Amino acid sequence: MTSAGGGVRFLIVDDDESIHLFLQVILAPYGECATASTGDRAVEMFVEARDNGQPFDVVLMDILMPGMDGHQASELMRAKEQEDGVAEADSFKLAMITCMVDDTSIDKAFFNARASVYIVKPLDRHKVISELKEHGII
């Protein structure tokens, strides 16, 4: 899935700026990266991008963040796509990137937010790229 410019549009959502920098560096060869530090801001950016005709192709979402968590933000993004009439096959790919490994978090990620992949921190360049490639995200 690529945007009109040919590259993938990534939205990186994490309250840790070192994660933003790490993911921007490793994902830059694959497309354009935007970042948000809160779930609220991520949803705003997601809606703005959709409304401007430049939707994000991939959202990399942390779960634990102050205010709105990653589960809530992902579900609101999915609701926006549904409201816009986006077919499930054309919806954004969701990669949960988190330290949460409990069954409830994993179930919510896959079943409620329809995550494509669940990557557990600490992040490793090879692990992130191979997981994204394995799941057809890049």
Q: Respond yes or no on whether the N-terminal peptide bond of residue 55 is cis (omega within 30° of 0).
A: no
DSSP bridge pairs for 61: 13, 96
CA angle 85, 94, 130 (to 5 degrees): 140
In a domain, 130, yes or no: no
pTM above 0.85, yes or no: yes
In a domain, 52, yes or no: yes
In a domain, 106, yes or no: yes
Domain hosting 84: range is 8-124
pLDDT tens figures, 16-72: 999 999 999 999 999 999 999 999 999 999 999 999 999 999 999 999 999 999 999
Q: What is the model's pLDDT at position 6?
A: 60
In a domain, 2, yes or no: no
CA angle 37, 108, 65 (to 5 degrees): 20
